[in-house]
Amino acid sequence: MTGVVRLIRLILRRDRVLLPLWVVPLGLLPSAYTASFKGVFTTDQERIAYAQVSQHNAGFVGLYGILHGTSLAELVAWRSGFITVMIGLFALLTVVRHTRTDEEAGRTELIGSAVVSRHAQLAAALITTCGASLVLGLLTVAAMIGSGMPAGGSLAFGAEFTFSGWAFAAVAAVAAQLTSSARTARAIAVAVLGACYALRVGGDISATGDGTLSWLSWLSPIGWVTHIFPYWSNNWWPAVLAVLFSVATAAAGVALLGRRDLGAGLLPAGLGRPGAAAWLRSPLALAWRLHRGLLLGWTSGFALLGLVFGGVAGSVVDLVRANSGLADIFGRLGGTQSLLDSYFASVAGIVGLIAAAYAVQATLRMRDEEQTGRAEAVLSTAVGRYAWAASHLVFSLLGPAVALFAEGLVARLTYPSAGVGGVIGSAVVQLPAVWVEAAVAVLLFGLLPKWSAAAWGAPAISLLILMVGETAGLNHWLLDISPFTHVPHVVGGAVAATPLITLTVVAVVVGAAGLAGLRLRNIPD
């Protein structure tokens, strides 16, 4: 493995800003939860009541995982359940960035011609990413012990974070070998992460109900690491499972690397059409070609989410029926229907946020087109800038609509006794908030193109607000930053129109400012 150490130093040099940017905040986020829980629950009774409700709230269990106990430490560890997904995401992005992205750009060829062994680059990327995950876990351990939590549980908590990073670094190591394009490699790894999350959501929600599908969680590395249950059972054997998975998967990645040529993928790149189909003659048709894979992928993912959320809706109802106290509360609020409404509303909040990520990704395709010079090729033909941008925006604005509708529709089909308005409606009303986040991306792309990638901050901030949100007792104006805070709940098939109209107007104004900027600026900039 000649050259690995030097390549690790190169990665650390290139990512000296990027790595701390995710390692430190994610590692310390649990401390923020600790502080905010301490602030919100002034008495033990309040905290215990909150924990008991959360244990049975399918939306919460879906988002964060299963909650057993009621202690502060357990609440913090449970609330941090989604952080494992974010760690997995950053780990896989880092590995792809330093393997396939470099290879596609031709930098691997440059490095490969120097004195480094064939596997050195993959090894360096894996070691660096796993090391970063370890540092992240240790940060969490230190912070938790520092705030007076039990040491054994804190160690288990740190392991939960570290091993989720390892598992998805390994997944990315395999994905990077499969295709010759970094984007496809990223998409494959993200899809695996999404599937793992969906499996955990399905399994865990089922476990709170009749438990028939609870085995789903055991198919997923995200399921394994969250089932360590720090501070509750400190169950180490799922952690062993995660480590074994990481080692085996990384080994598979190394083996696959040995079986292919530089620049090539294992999935064959076949021959295609010698000429364009008759319909491929407009910027919109081109945009369809460029976005259809993304649309199909996201829509299938959303349909899967609908299947999961619709599938567990039954257990939610059963659960509440079994618990006479909760049944009374919901009975006074409007019966089972209202219970389902609030369940689907909290689910839709999560789904809407995921749709926003899709919208931002689709919008930023324009930036990608610009940076690669393909936008220049199109704009030097008789296609104006507005027409070019509009053809992409069709997909970044309507694509999420299709995806959200698919989620609602499948959830409704899976759980037919729910009201149509409640299920499909609560998914679709997220759309104006999704558009606002897409509009932020358009604004940056038009006016501050070099900062386009900062558009990811919009869904990230919304996610943070959703995760920390009301627990932290944040100021209301801080919550109001997220457009999703303003999305009205669908109650009995009816919804307040004013916030939806306001959000749409905000999206139009912000997006129009971005387009005006695009009209006047240099391309490429």
Partner 1 sequence: MTEAIGAEGLIKRFGKVAALDGLDLHVRTGEVHGFLGPNGAGKTTTIRILLGLMRSDGGRASLLGGDPWAQATALHRRLAYVPGDVTLWPTLTGGEVIDLLGRLRGGLDPRRRAELLERFELDPRKKGRTYSKGNRQKVALVAALASDVELLILDEPTSGLDPLMEAAFREIILQEKRRGDRTVLLSSHILAEVEALCDRLTIIREGRTVETGTLAELRHLTRTSIHAELSGPPDGLATMTGVHGFRAENGKVVFDVDADALEPALRTLVAVGVKSLVSQPPSLEELFLRQYQRGDGK
Nearest approach in angstroms of CB 290 to partner 1 is 7
Exactly one of 282, 300, 324, 417 binds partner 1 (CB under 8 A); which one?
Answer: 282
Q: In whole angstroms, how large is the CA radius of gyration of the chain?
A: 24
Cα–Cα distance, 200 to 206 (Å, whole number): 10
Helix 335-372 to helix 431-447 angle, to the nearest 10 degrees? 20
Nearer to partner 1, 373 or 492 (CB): 373
Nearer to partner 1, 258 or 272 (CB): 272
Span of 192-200, 221-229, 284-292, 298-306 interacting with partner 1 by CB under 8 A: 284-292
Q: Does 16 participate in binding partner 1 (rule CB under 8 A)?
A: no
CA 62 vs. chain centroid, Å, equals 14
Q: Which of the 8 DSSP states describes residue 494?
A: B
Q: Does 110 participate in binding partner 1 (rule CB under 8 A)?
A: no
Nearer to partner 1, 180 or 338 (CB): 180
How far CA 285 is from CA of 271, 360, 406, in Å, comes to 21, 21, 23
Cβ count near 53 (within 10 Å): 13
Span of 127-135, 144-152, 175-183, 450-458 interacting with partner 1 by CB under 8 A: 175-183
Q: Does 384 participate in binding partner 1 (rule CB under 8 A)?
A: yes
Q: Does 109 participate in binding partner 1 (rule CB under 8 A)?
A: no
Exactly one of 127, 329, 378, 398 binds partner 1 (CB under 8 A); which one?
Answer: 378
Check whether the bond before 221 is cis (ω within 30° of 0): no
Q: Does 290 participate in binding partner 1 (rule CB under 8 A)?
A: yes
Cα–Cα distance, 487 to 421 (Å, whole number): 15
Q: Quick check: 204 and 217 in contact, CB under 8 A? A: yes
Closest by CA position to 204, among listed 172, 226, 234, 186 = 226
Q: Does 522 participate in binding partner 1 (rule CB under 8 A)?
A: yes
Exactly one of 42, 45, 258, 275 binds partner 1 (CB under 8 A); which one?
Answer: 275
Instruction: Supply 4's token pair.
Output: 């690995």
Instruction: Supply 168's token pair.
Output: 């998805």
Exactly one of 46, 109, 328, 376 binds partner 1 (CB under 8 A); which one?
Answer: 376
Nearest approach in angstroms of CB 332 to partner 1 is 56
Nearest approach in angstroms of CB 280 to partner 1 is 5
Instruction: Supply 374's token pair.
Output: 């393909």
Exactly one of 35, 281, 333, 334 binds partner 1 (CB under 8 A); which one?
Answer: 281
Span of 48-56, 196-204, 213-221, 367-375 interacting with partner 1 by CB under 8 A: 367-375
Q: DSSP string covering 381-403, please?
A: TT--HHHHHHHHHHHHHHHHHHH
Nearest approach in angstroms of CB 353 to partner 1 is 28
Check whether the bond before 416 is cis (ω within 30° of 0): no
Instruction: Supply 21's token pair.
Output: 């940017």
Q: Does 273 participate in binding partner 1 (rule CB under 8 A)?
A: yes
Nearest approach in angstroms of CB 187 to partner 1 is 12
Nearest approach in angstroms of CB 361 to partner 1 is 16
Cα–Cα distance, 165 to 126 (Å, whole number): 10
- What SS3 class is residue 491? strand
Cα–Cα distance, 19 to 334 (Å, whole number): 49
Nearer to partner 1, 178 or 379 (CB): 379
Cα–Cα distance, 378 to 389 (Å, whole number): 11
Exactly one of 255, 377, 413, 420 binds partner 1 (CB under 8 A); which one?
Answer: 377
Q: Does 389 participate in binding partner 1 (rule CB under 8 A)?
A: no
Span of 71-79, 167-175, 247-255, 369-377 interacting with partner 1 by CB under 8 A: 369-377
Nearest approach in angstroms of CB 195 to partner 1 is 23
Q: Which are the contacts of 348, defined by CB distance < 8 A and separation ≥ 6?
A: 408, 426, 427, 429, 430, 487
Q: Does 14 participate in binding partner 1 (rule CB under 8 A)?
A: no
Nearer to partner 1, 38 or 289 (CB): 289
Q: Does 324 participate in binding partner 1 (rule CB under 8 A)?
A: no
Q: What distance, in Å, lies between the first and last C-alpha atoms of the chain?
A: 41
Q: Which are the contacts of 75, defined by CB distance < 8 A and separation ≥ 6?
A: 33, 37, 47, 50, 51, 54, 67
Q: Does 107 participate in binding partner 1 (rule CB under 8 A)?
A: no
Exactly one of 55, 180, 471, 502 binds partner 1 (CB under 8 A); which one?
Answer: 180
Exactly one of 248, 280, 501, 508 binds partner 1 (CB under 8 A); which one?
Answer: 280
Exactly one of 261, 272, 450, 477 binds partner 1 (CB under 8 A); which one?
Answer: 272
Q: Which residues bind partner 1 (CB under 8 A)?
A: 180-181, 183, 269-277, 280-283, 286, 289-290, 293, 372-374, 376-384, 520, 522-524
